[in-house]
Amino acid sequence: MKIHVVGLGVAEQAILSEEAQLLLANLSAKDIVLGASRQHDTIAHYSHQAQRQALPKLTQLAELFGQWQTQGAEQVVVLASGDPLYYGIGAWLVRTFPFEALCFYPNVSSVQVACHRLGLSLQNVQVVSLHGRPLASLRRHLQSNKTLVLLTDQYSQPKQIAQECIMAGMDHSEITVCEALGYAHEKVRTFVAKEGLENDAVFDPLNVIVVKTSQQTSIYPSAPGIPDVSFITDKGEGKGMITKREVRLAVLSYMNINQDDTVWDIGAGCGGVSVELAYWHPHSRIIAIEHHAERLACLRANQERFGVVQNLSIVAGRAPDALVDLPLPNKVFIGGSDGELCVLLESVWSILPLGGTLTVSAVTEETKYQVMQFVQQRDLKQDANEQSVQLSISKGERLAGQRVFRPNLPVSLFHFSKLSGKVAPHYHYVLKESTNAFKENA
């Protein structure tokens, strides 16, 4: 069965290519045209004999394709708003079906049309999709002097966007709402964020929003090394269980996160390392493991505060037991072990792939001794490149009107890159494609 993905462009009546028109004209009565009601209406002027079906949830869609095929359908046409492969259903179809079964018919996207309505060069804007995504995920993008083009849904309408700008300390930001693009009742309206909450204007829910952020300084970080006081902690004012700023910067550098990395942060505390990793690397998967109730609450609060709600997952539990059924990592940071460091080092090392890395922080002499034993094992087996550094930080304070530098406890960082070895024979980890989880079998 062939799956055709037809982009409808941005118009009340779709303007399709000759190839797409010919496709529709040649469909049989057993074939399927799949889309939302509005999408079907946009192609009503192109006649076809196929069955008109409503687009279900994606979790149900793959099974329906099989049913349609058994019922004699040879072709399924999926109607897609705008460009199917630009924040559209096309990406899901490519992940789900063999590419040989797919054929795409591109069209202009709503982002392109919005930029043309406003005279914006597409290469100079940043597109952020909030469609089907948490509103908080916008926060990492709210920085000074940026032009954001937002794809929205019912939870990210103009008033919610204005509220996010105000919360970021950027209430002078200019918000332009491009409503019902391509329709007869199309509108383009602009307001300033701080005025938006006082405005009772009603906007068409079918919209693209353009945000020109102000020159005001955002409360959200624009460079690595988030100040400790910006985090919610169990001791207040950044003094709780977080890896402190200067040490955190070294950890970020050693870990060297890349796109599509899967990272475990074991003993995540209030989330200093996890939040920074997720904030600066939106296309990586960060998994924070913590069991302490108060620190977990702070970790979740920091996840929400910095908007890292898509690529940061929080696991409530004590390692190593809590590691079972998690996605396999290729990079691990151990910031706290709760007395289980020796077990954690061995178990984590056994599942890391070749080229995977393990970074460990140590403060107490007992912890350093345990890590040094691990270093000696790696030296004997010659299966790792190891780097280590001890950081001694002194911070300036005022004492009786004079400046003094008060030292913090030294922190030792150990970084291991795996050169050889294999998964321990008594473990069998199986990735689950549907849940991206793994399980342990004896």
pLDDT tens profile 317-354: 999 999 999 999 999 999 988 888 999 999 999 999 99
Across residues 304-326, what is the average pLDDT?
95
How do strand 102-105 and strand 126-129 relate by DSSP bridges? Answer: unpaired
Q: Which CATH superfamily is domain 2-108 in?
A: Tetrapyrrole methylase, N-terminal domain (3.40.1010.10)
pLDDT interval class at 422 (50, 70, 90): low
173-177, 197-201, 345-349: least confidently modelled range = 197-201
Q: In the numeric block, which tokens belong to residue 368?
A: 């350093």
Q: Check pLDDT > 80 for residue 386.
A: yes
The phi and psi torsions of 108 (rounded to 5 degrees) equal -70, 145
Average pLDDT over residues 232-250: 89
As a whole number of angstroms, the distance between CA 408 and CA 425 comes to 42
Cα dihedral: 33, 37, 41, 44 (round 10): 30
Whether the per-residue pLDDT at 32 is higher than 90: the answer is: yes
**Which pLDDT value is given to residue 423?**
46
**Residue 227 in this model has a pLDDT that exceeds 70:** yes
CA nearest 14: which of 88, 76, 75, 83?
83
Burial of 119 (0-12, 13-18, 19+ CB in 10 A): exposed
Angle ∠(264,268,272) on CA atoms, nearest 5: 105
* CA atoms of 29 and 360, how far apart (whole Å): 63
Residue 263 above 70 pLDDT?
A: yes
Tokens of 414: 């150990």
Q: Which CATH superfamily is domain 111-212 in?
A: Tetrapyrrole methylase, C-terminal domain (3.30.950.10)
Nearest to 9 by CA among 102, 110, 103: 110
H runs (alpha helix) in 245-292? 245-255, 272-280
Q: Is the pLDDT of residue 58 over 90?
A: no
User: Residue range 192-220: average pLDDT?
Assistant: 91
Whether the predicted pLDDT of 427 surpasses 60: no
Q: Quickly state the pLDDT bin for 435 (edges 50, 70, 90).
A: very low
Tokens of 439: 């399980």
Give the pLDDT score at 426.
35
What rounded mean pLDDT belongs to the chain? 91
Has domain 228-440 been given CATH number 3.40.50.150?
yes
Cβ count near 419 (within 10 Å): 13
Asked if 168 contacts 305 with a C-beta cutoff of 8 angstroms, the reply is no
Tell me, what's the pLDDT at 438?
32
Instruction: With H, G, I as helix, E, B as strand and everything else as coil, classify residue 159.
Output: helix
Q: What are the two backbone dihedrals, phi and then psi, of residue 441, each rounded to the nearest 5 degrees?
A: -120, 135
What phi, psi does 201 have (nearest 5°)? -60, 145
Query: Of the candidates 17, 127, 61, which has an alpha carbon nearest to the alpha carbon of residue 8?
Result: 17
Q: 103-134 pLDDT, tens per residue? A: 999 999 999 999 999 999 999 999 999 999 99
Domain boundaries of the chain, sorted by first residue: 2-108, 111-212, 228-440
pLDDT, greater one: 8 or 236:
8
- What 3-state class would DSSP assign to 382? coil
Cis omega (within 30 of 0) for bond into 320: yes
Could you give the CA distance from residue 41 to residue 394 in angstroms, rounded to a whole number? 67
pLDDT band at 266 (very low <50, low <70, confident <90, very high): very high
Q: What global pTM score does this model have? A: 0.87
| d(C-alpha 52, C-alpha 33), whole Å | 5
Q: Of 169 and 425, which is predicted with more confidence?
A: 169
Q: What is the pLDDT of residue 421?
A: 57
Q: What is the mean pLDDT of residues 43-52?
A: 95
